Amino acid sequence: MFKDLNPLLHSELRLAIMSLLLSAEEADFVYIKEQTKSTAGNLSVQLDKLSSAGYIKIAKGFIGKKPNTSCKITNAGRVAFAEYVDALKSYIIPHP
Amino acid sequence: MFKDLNPLLHSELRLAIMSLLLSAEEADFVYIKEQTKSTAGNLSVQLDKLSSAGYIKIAKGFIGKKPNTSCKITNAGRVAFAEYVDALKSYIIPHP
DNA sequence: TTATTTGGTTTATAAAATAAACTTGTTTAT
DNA sequence: ATAAACAAGTTTATTTTATAAACCAAATAA
């Protein structure tokens, strides 16, 4: 009746990050922080979790002299997101 | 860009309870427990939270000699659910 | 009559989310 | 040149949640 909701994606901030990366294909820390209106600490933690799960790939480098953290969604991330959305439907679509 | 997700509804079990009550209009503890595959303790706690928020109304009585806890969604609950679903769309619908 | 089951509630534990504090290095102003 | 402020994060601590384990009262079964 109700499909399990992947707990890694069932989090407001992580879901927003994934949603952003799905559309943007690539985004850096500062941009994600702005778009999601999150704090740096929270964002740092949640990006790590998504990265550890293999849902995103994080590349650290510099732009000029400033450190830059760039994120990309992986294929596994895309699949997990699609599955999550599918599972959500079992909750939000009326059961006749 | 991303709408806030009502934290009271952004919980797997509470969402399932609300989803059930939206379709069923009324359901008792045992039925909800079965359909959601939840434990009694967890269900008890989450029903209390939904009730405290005014999203459901709990009526305790007896059926024969057995205690019975019956739940109904309130209008506030219906509204909150609809808003939650609307907010969700800001995460799962692609942003062009 | 003493288990066992039913229908829960309460309390304790584990996990998560979030915020506050800190680090490292870079500008900017003095 | 030096100090103050800022940028980009990370780490640690705190609060909140979710979940499970333990418990309770009443009814039924053995």
pLDDT in tens, A6-57: 999 999 999 999 999 999 989 999 999 999 999 999 999 999 999 999 999 9
Q: Which regions in chain B score pLDDT beneath 50? A: none
Average pLDDT over residues A80-92: 95
- Element (H or E) spanning B11, and its range? none
Is A85 near chain B, with CB under 8 Å? Answer: yes
> What is the rounded CA–CA span in Å between residue B25 and residue A61?
55
Is nucleic acid strand C under 7 Å from B52's C-beta? no
Is A25 near chain B, with CB under 8 Å? Answer: no
pLDDT at A95: 65
pLDDT at B95: 65
> What is the rounded CA–CA span in Å between residue A86 and residue A81?
9
pLDDT at B42: 96
Beta-bridge partners for B73: B56
Q: Model-level pTM?
A: 0.93
Is B2 near chain A, with CB under 8 Å? Answer: yes
pLDDT at A96: 65
- Element (H or E) spanning B19, and its range? helix B12-24
- Residue closest to sugar C1' of D17 by CA: B11
CA atoms lying within 13 Å on the CB side of residue B17: 33
Q: How many CB pairs (< 8 A) connect A and B?
A: 48
